[in-house]
Structure 1
Amino acid sequence: MTDDERFSLLVGVMGAGELWPVPDERIPPGVPMSAAYVPGIPRLGVPALLMSDAGLGVTNPGYRPGDTATALPAGLALAASFDPALAREAGGLIGREARSRGFNVQLAGAMNLARDPRNGRNFEYVSEDPLLTATIAAESVKGIQHEGVISTVKHYSLNGNETNRHWLDAVIDPDAHRESDLLAFEMAIERGAPGAVMAAYNKINGDYAAANDVLINGVLKGAWGYRGWVMSDWGATPGWECALAGLDQECGAQIDALLWGSEAFGDPLRAAHAEGGLASERLSDMVRRILRSMFAVGVDRAHVGPAPDMDAHNEIALRIARAGIVLLANRGALPLAPESSPRIAVIGGYAHAGVAAGYGSAAVVPPGGYAAVVPIGGQGLEAGMRNLYLLPSSPLSELRERLPRAQIEFDPGLGPAEAAMAARRADVAIVFAVRAEGEGFDGADLSLPWGQDAVIAAVAAANPNTVVVLETGNPVTMPWRNSVNAILQAWYPGQNGGRAIAEVLAGVVNPSGRLPITFPVDLGQTPRPELPDPATPWGTPTTIDYFEGADVGYRWFAKRGLAPMFAFGHGLSYTRFEYRDLVLGAGDTISASFSVANVGDRAGADVPQLYLTSAPGERCSRLLGFERVELEPGATRRVSIEADARLLAHYDGGAGTWRIAPGGYTVAVGASAVALRLAGGVELAGRAFGR
Structure 2
Amino acid sequence: MTTTLTTAAHAQALADSDARAKAMVDAMTLDEQIGLMRTQAGFGLLSLGIPLPPSVPESMRKSTPPGALGSAGYVPAVERVGMPAQQMSDASLGVGNLGGFLRRGDEATSLPATLALAATFDLDLARAAGDMLGAEAHAKGFNVQLAGGVNLTREPRNGRNFEYAGEDPLLAGQIVGAQVAGIQGRHVVSTVKHFALNAQETGRFVHDARMDEAALRESDLLAFEIAIARGKPGSVMCAYNRINGLYACENPFLLGKVLKGDWKYPGWVMSDWGASHSLAPSLAAGLDQESPQDEPYFGGLKAAVERGEVSAERVREAALRIVRGFQSVGAIDHPATPGGAIDKDAHAEIAERVALQGMVLLKNDGVLPLATKVRKIVVIGGFADRGVLSGGGSSQVMPYGGHFLDKRGREGIAAVLSPVYGLSSPLEALRALRPDAQIIFDDGGDPARAAALAKDADLAIVFATRAEEEGMDALSPGLPYGQDELIAAVGAANPKTAVVLETGNPILMPWLSKVGAVLQAWYPGQRGGPAIARILTGEVSPSGRLPMTFPATMEQLPRPQVPGLDPTAKRAPLGLGVKVAPFALDFPEGADAGYRWFERTKARPLFSFGHGLTYTRFGYSKLAAQGGEGLSATFTLTNTGERAGAEVAQLYVAPPGGVHRLAGWARVELAPGESRQVTITADPRLLLSWDAKAGGWSREAGAYDLYVGKAAGSRDLPGKAKLTAATQGASR
Q: CA deviation at 1:386?
A: 4.5
Instruction: State the match for 1:340 in structure 2.
Output: 373
Tell me, in whole angstroms, the C-alpha distance in 2 between the residues paired with 1:36 and 1:89.
26
Instruction: State the match for 2:184 in structure 1.
Output: 145
Given the superposition, is the C-alpha separation of residues 505 and 585 from structure 1 closer, same or farther in structure 2, using an over 3 Å criterion? same
Instruction: State the match for 1:421 in structure 2.
Output: 452
Tell me, in whole angstroms, the C-alpha distance in 2 between the residues paired with 1:462 and 1:384.
36
Tell me, in whole angstroms, the C-alpha distance in 2 between the residues paired with 1:439 and 1:377.
15
Q: 1:415–1:451: 8 Å Cα contact kept in structure 2?
A: no
Given the superposition, is the C-alpha separation of residues 294 and 334 from structure 1 closer, same or farther in structure 2, using an over 3 Å criterion? same
**Are positions 1:224 and 2:263 aligned together?**
yes
Equivalent positions of 1:437-586 (< 5 A) are 437-535=468-566, 538-586=579-627
Instruction: State the match for 2:107 in structure 1.
Output: 68
Question: In the alignment, residue 651 of structure 2 is paired with which amino acid?
Answer: L
Q: CA deviation at 1:383?
A: 4.0
Q: 1:112–1:160: 8 Å Cα contact kept in structure 2?
A: yes
Instruction: State the match for 1:43 in structure 2.
Output: 80
Tell me, in whole angstroms, the C-alpha distance in 1 between the residues paired with 2:702 and 2:148.
37
1:300 is matched with which residue: 325, 332, 343? 332
Tell me, in whole angstroms, the C-alpha distance in 2 between the residues paired with 1:169 and 1:377.
30
Q: CA deviation at 1:482?
A: 0.7
**Are positions 1:131 and 2:163 aligned together?**
no
Instruction: State the match for 1:180 in structure 2.
Output: 219
Instruction: State the match for 1:391 in structure 2.
Output: 422
In terms of mean alpha carbon deviation, does 573-582 or 75-84 score higher? 573-582
Q: 2:379–2:440: 8 Å Cα contact kept in structure 1?
A: yes
2:301 is matched with which residue: 256, 269, 276? 269
Instruction: State the match for 1:663 in structure 2.
Output: 702
Q: 1:374–1:389: 8 Å Cα contact kept in structure 2?
A: no
**Are positions 1:608 and 2:649 aligned together?**
yes
**Are positions 1:233 and 2:267 aligned together?**
no
Q: CA deviation at 1:391?
A: 0.9
**Are positions 1:589 and 2:623 aligned together?**
no
Q: 3-state SS of the aligned residue for 2:403?
A: coil
Report the RMSD for the aligned CA atoms in angstroms: 1.6
**Are positions 1:328 and 2:362 aligned together?**
yes
2:43 is matched with which residue: 2, 16, 20? 16
Q: 3-state SS of the aligned residue for 1:166?
A: coil
Equivalent positions of 1:362-377 (< 5 A) are 362-374=395-407, 376-377=409-410
1:309 is matched with which residue: 331, 343, 346? 343
Q: CA deviation at 1:595?
A: 2.3
Q: 1:75–1:125: 8 Å Cα contact kept in structure 2?
A: yes
In terms of mean alpha carbon deviation, does 209-218 or 647-656 score higher? 647-656
Tell me, in whole angstroms, the C-alpha distance in 1 between the residues paired with 2:438 and 2:165.
38
2:66 is matched with which residue: 24, 28, 32? 28
Q: 2:549–2:594: 8 Å Cα contact kept in structure 1?
A: yes
The unaligned stretches of length 5 or more in structure 1 are: none
Q: 3-state SS of the aligned residue for 2:41?
A: coil
Equivalent positions of 1:185-200 (< 5 A) are 185-200=224-239
**Are positions 1:635 and 2:674 aligned together?**
yes
The unaligned stretches of length 5 or more in structure 2 are: 1-27, 46-55, 570-577
Q: CA deviation at 1:532?
A: 2.1
Q: 3-state SS of the aligned residue for 2:89?
A: strand
- 1:604-627 Cα offsets, whole Å, 9 max, x none, are 111000001x43233x12001011
Q: 1:327–1:513: 8 Å Cα contact kept in structure 2?
A: yes
In terms of mean alpha carbon deviation, does 44-53 or 31-40 score higher? 31-40
Equivalent positions of 1:616-655 (< 5 A) are 616-618=656-658, 620-655=659-694
Q: CA deviation at 1:567?
A: 0.2
Instruction: State the match for 1:244 in structure 2.
Output: 284
Instruction: State the match for 2:437 in structure 1.
Output: 406
Q: 3-state SS of the aligned residue for 2:407?
A: strand
Q: 1:113–1:181: 8 Å Cα contact kept in structure 2?
A: yes
Instruction: State the match for 2:48 in structure 1.
Output: none
Tell me, in whole angstroms, the C-alpha distance in 2 between the residues paired with 1:170 and 1:111.
16
Q: 3-state SS of the aligned residue for 2:638?
A: strand
Q: 1:93–1:144: 8 Å Cα contact kept in structure 2?
A: yes
Tell me, in whole angstroms, the C-alpha distance in 1 between the residues paired with 2:63 and 2:296.
13
2:126 is matched with which residue: 83, 87, 98? 87
Tell me, in whole angstroms, the C-alpha distance in 2 between the residues paired with 1:385 and 1:132.
35
Given the superposition, is the C-alpha separation of residues 617 and 16 from structure 1 closer, same or farther in structure 2, using an over 3 Å criterion? closer
Q: CA deviation at 1:374?
A: 2.7
Q: CA deviation at 1:418?
A: 1.9
Q: CA deviation at 1:166?
A: 0.6
Question: In the alignment, residue 263 of structure 2 is paired with which amino acid?
Answer: W
Tell me, in whole angstroms, the C-alpha distance in 2 between the residues paired with 1:545 and 1:383.
30
Q: CA deviation at 1:597?
A: 1.6
Q: 1:579–1:597: 8 Å Cα contact kept in structure 2?
A: yes
Alignment length (residue pairs): 676
Tell me, in whole angstroms, the C-alpha distance in 2 between the residues paired with 1:140 and 1:17.
30
Q: 1:383–1:440: 8 Å Cα contact kept in structure 2?
A: no
- 1:40-63 Cα offsets, whole Å, 9 max, x none, are 211211111110001100011221
Tell me, in whole angstroms, the C-alpha distance in 2 between the residues paired with 1:385 and 1:159.
26
Q: 3-state SS of the aligned residue for 2:609?
A: coil
In terms of mean alpha carbon deviation, does 7-16 or 528-537 score higher? 528-537
- 1:381-427 Cα offsets, whole Å, 9 max, x none, are x8466523211111111111111111111111113212212212211
- 1:633-669 Cα offsets, whole Å, 9 max, x none, are 1222232222222212210133221111121111110
Tell me, in whole angstroms, the C-alpha distance in 2 between the residues paired with 1:42 and 1:220.
31
Q: 3-state SS of the aligned residue for 1:250?
A: coil
Question: In the alignment, residue 34 of structure 2 is paired with which amino acid?
Answer: F
Q: 3-state SS of the aligned residue for 2:192?
A: strand
Question: In the alignment, residue 449 of structure 1 is paired with which amino acid?
Answer: P
Tell me, in whole angstroms, the C-alpha distance in 1 between the residues paired with 2:449 and 2:660.
46
Tell me, in whole angstroms, the C-alpha distance in 2 between the residues paired with 1:378 and 1:550.
40
Instruction: State the match for 2:18 in structure 1.
Output: none
Q: 2:564–2:580: 8 Å Cα contact kept in structure 1?
A: no
Tell me, in whole angstroms, the C-alpha distance in 2 between the residues paired with 1:168 and 1:443.
17
Q: CA deviation at 1:378?
A: 7.6
Q: CA deviation at 1:372?
A: 3.7
Tell me, in whole angstroms, the C-alpha distance in 2 between the residues paired with 1:677 and 1:326.
20
Question: In the alignment, residue 575 of structure 1 is paired with which amino acid?
Answer: T
Tell me, in whole angstroms, the C-alpha distance in 1 between the residues paired with 2:353 and 2:563.
39
Tell me, in whole angstroms, the C-alpha distance in 1 between the residues paired with 2:330 and 2:415.
36
Q: 2:689–2:697: 8 Å Cα contact kept in structure 1?
A: yes
Identical counterparts, % of pairs: 52
**Are positions 1:352 and 2:385 aligned together?**
yes
- 1:25-53 Cα offsets, whole Å, 9 max, x none, are 7x324x31111111221121111111000
Given the superposition, is the C-alpha separation of residues 505 and 68 from structure 1 closer, same or farther in structure 2, using an over 3 Å criterion? same
Instruction: State the match for 1:164 in structure 2.
Output: 203
Question: In the alignment, residue 551 of structure 1 is paired with which amino acid?
Answer: D
Tell me, in whole angstroms, the C-alpha distance in 2 between the residues paired with 1:296 and 1:131.
25
Q: 2:71–2:87: 8 Å Cα contact kept in structure 1?
A: yes
Q: CA deviation at 1:373?
A: 4.3
Given the superposition, is the C-alpha separation of residues 83 and 376 from structure 1 closer, same or farther in structure 2, using an over 3 Å criterion? farther
Q: CA deviation at 1:376?
A: 4.6
Tell me, in whole angstroms, the C-alpha distance in 2 between the residues paired with 1:588 and 1:207.
39
Q: CA deviation at 1:21?
A: 5.0
Equivalent positions of 1:679-690 (< 5 A) are 679-690=718-729
Tell me, in whole angstroms, the C-alpha distance in 1 between the residues paired with 2:283 and 2:550.
40
In terms of mean alpha carbon deviation, does 673-682 or 181-190 score higher? 673-682
Question: In the alignment, residue 491 of structure 2 is paired with which amino acid?
Answer: A
Q: 1:376–1:386: 8 Å Cα contact kept in structure 2?
A: no
Question: In the alignment, residue 289 of structure 1 is paired with which amino acid?
Answer: R
Tell me, in whole angstroms, the C-alpha distance in 1 between the residues paired with 2:362 and 2:417.
29
Q: 3-state SS of the aligned residue for 1:688?
A: coil
Given the superposition, is the C-alpha separation of residues 21 and 226 from structure 1 closer, same or farther in structure 2, using an over 3 Å criterion? closer
Q: 3-state SS of the aligned residue for 2:223?
A: helix
Tell me, in whole angstroms, the C-alpha distance in 2 between the residues paired with 1:673 and 1:106.
33
